[in-house]
Amino acid sequence: AELETLLKSAIGAGAIEAVFQPLVSASTGTVTGLEALARWRTAAGNVSPEVFIPLAERCGLIDALGAHMLRTSVAHAKNWPDLALSVNVSPVQLCNPEFAAEVISVLRELDFDPKRLTLEITEGVLMTNPDQARRSIDQLKRVGIKFALDDFGCGYASIGALRQFGFDRMKIDRSLVSALDEGAKGADVLRATISLATALQIPVTAEGIENSRQAAILRDAGCDQLQGYLMGKPMSARDISGKLQEEA
Ligand code: G
Ligand code: G
Ligand code: MN
Ligand code: NA
């Protein structure tokens, strides 16, 4: 309960920060986009998003936290006009009937092209509240916002959902990528998963790439976008700007 109070004031004070992790073209190695990730630094140390995101979902703070993350990451992304921006959205947010209108209004207010924005969602929501999820997704897709199915392969393997909800991209969970280091079967599973997406004409991002052997296998298997510590760790907005300047 104490953490809940702290989180509430942190959100109110704008103390939840966004860091940005590069999304890299598999063919050229250039950064084409950034994924925003929430960070909470307190006097007592950092609290992991694996702790405070579920907490925010449980205690009704996720809409405010999500709105803050969208606003702050879009504001930063205006400094990187050539890059796409991905923002994680909790299933709880997507089930809020006001969600889509709020996203659209933030983009208008900040004059941000909706075509640059991808919302990453996990498959859970598609099971628990498919009707509201679909309404939100459809409303946002109409203005040009894209959707990525996040953490694919670690929950129910819903290839059906990829089609039914009109996902623009699939993100392969890093547990499947790290399985590449543990034996030959890992590569077979990945290739099969990527082929399925490719057959549906849905491009694939691989997450959690930590070594060049993994990157080579995933590139050969048909991923067009790579993400992970090998390509770049999540960085502050200032460090991203520095990195982009180095590369220019
Ligand atoms: O950044 P890190 O890998 O520690 O994130 C851990 C988990 O928290 C991941 O599942 C990630 O998707 C989630 N997460 C990080 N930032 C956000 C956010 O802004 N909103 C939501 N809903 N989830 C986030
Ligand atoms: O669920 P989602 O894919 O949004 O989670 C992203 C999380 O994965 C972030 O918390 C980020 O810090 C973490 N992450 C990103 N790249 C790597 C990686 O190469 N290795 C590991 N172990 N974690 C990573
Ligand atoms: Mn994600
Ligand atoms: Na993920």
What pTM, to 2 d.p., does this model score? 0.96
Strands 16-25, 225-226: pairing is antiparallel
Q: State the Cα–Cα distance between residues 238 and 19, nearest whole angstrom.
A: 9
Q: Which residues line ligand 1 (CB under 6 A)?
A: 37-38, 48-50, 53, 69, 88-90, 234
Structural tokens at position 126: 């598609």
What value, to the nearest 5°, has the Cα angle with vertex 185 and ends 179 and 187? 65
Nearest bound ligand to CA 234?
2
Strands 45-47, 31-42: pairing is antiparallel
Question: Is the minimum distance from the CB of 229 to ligand 2 under 6 angstroms?
Answer: yes
Which of 222, 246, 225, 219 lies closest to 235 in space, CA to CA?
Answer: 246
Q: Give the CATH number, domain containing residue 88.
A: 3.20.20.450
Q: 71, exposed or middle or buried, with CB in 10 Å at 0-12, 13-18, 19+?
A: middle
Ramachandran angles phi, psi of 223, nearest 5°: -70, 135
User: Does residue 203 contact residue 175 with C-beta atoms inside 8 Å?
Assistant: no
Atom of ligand 1 at shortest distance to CA of 37?
16
User: Does residue 121 contact residue 132 with C-beta atoms inside 8 Å?
Assistant: no
Which of 119, 96, 95 lies closest to 36 in space, CA to CA?
Answer: 119
Atom of ligand 2 at shortest distance to CA of 173?
3
Q: How far is CA 208 from CA 34, 140, 215, in A?
A: 14, 28, 10
Split into its structural domains, the chain has a count of 1
- Mutual orientation of helices 184-199 and 212-221 as an angle, nearest 10°? 40
Q: pLDDT tens digits for the chain (248 residues)? A: 699 999 999 999 999 999 999 999 999 999 999 999 999 999 889 999 999 999 999 999 999 999 999 999 999 999 999 999 999 999 999 999 999 999 999 999 999 999 999 999 998 777 788 899 999 999 999 999 999 999 998 776 577 888 889 999 999 999 999 999 998 888 998 999 999 999 999 999 999 999 999 999 999 999 999 999 999 999 999 999 999 988 87
92 lies in which domain range?
2-247
* Ligand 3 mean position, distance from CA 240 (Å): 18
- For atom 8 of ligand 2, which residue has the closest CA? 208
Which of 92, 77, 72 lies closest to 10 in space, CA to CA?
Answer: 72
Question: Is the minimum distance from the CB of 37 to ligand 2 under 6 angstroms?
Answer: yes
Beta strand segments in the chain, E: 16-25, 31-42, 45-47, 84-88, 117-121, 146-152, 169-172, 204-206, 225-226
Q: How many other β-carbons are positioned within 10 Å of the β-carbon of residue 131?
A: 8
| Encoded amino acid at 68, one letter | H
Q: State the Cα–Cα distance between residues 53 and 220, nearest whole angstrom.
A: 35
Q: What is the ipTM of this complex?
A: 0.96
| H/E run at residue 242 | helix 237-247
- Helix, strand, coil distribution of the chain in percent, nearest 5: 50, 20, 30
